[in-house]
Amino acid sequence: MGNIRITKQFNFETGHALFGYDGKCRNVHGHSYKLSVTVIGKPITDTTHVKLGMVIDFGDLKRIVKEEIVDQFDHATVFNKNTPHVELAQELTDRGHNVILANYQPTSENMVLDFADRIKARLPKNISLHSLKLQETDTSFAEWYASDN
């Protein structure tokens, strides 16, 4: 049996600021992100298996992405931990806000790289991450493909 790609989509709200950037995104702001996660594998052919015909149960993929990405990033504010934003991050944290201090500038490009690593680490050994699409706005997105990496 051949490989099949399956995709599950997720939505979450996240704020960020791009320190040192020369445009409006240097200010703290947020996006309604849309994340499409595509995995590839062979459907289960064992007729006694409860997940016969599935590459991966959509519920299992949902659990992985929800735990690794959505639950952590939804309604959080992401700052690069190597910038002066750490002072603002500390104040927000002290006031009960969910803040993520990332090892990178929180652009869509860097976020999608981070998400790929997180998801790949959790997939079953017979399933591969094929691609991610992180949509920041209706017209702007970053994509990650395993074949490019």
Q: Is 31 annotated as a binding residue?
A: yes
Tens of pLDDT, residues 67-113:
999 999 999 999 999 999 899 999 999 999 999 999 999 999 999 99
Element (H, E) at 143: strand 140-145
From 49, 67, 75, 87, the catalytic residue: 75
From 68, 85, 130, 136, the catalytic residue: 136
Predicted local confidence at residue 17, as pLDDT: 95
DSSP state of 83: S
Q: Is 130 annotated as a binding residue?
A: no
pTM to 2 decimals?
Answer: 0.95
The mean per-residue pLDDT over the stretch 13-30 comes to 96
Q: Is 97 a catalytic residue?
A: no
| pLDDT exceeds 80 at position 1 | no
Residue 64 phi, psi dihedral angles, 5° rounding: -60, -50
What confidence tier does 130 reach under pLDDT thresholds 50, 70, 90? Answer: very high
**Domain 4-145 indexed as CATH 1.10.390.10:** no
Q: Is 143 a catalytic residue?
A: no
Q: Is 49 annotated as a binding residue?
A: no
Q: Is 25 a catalytic residue?
A: yes
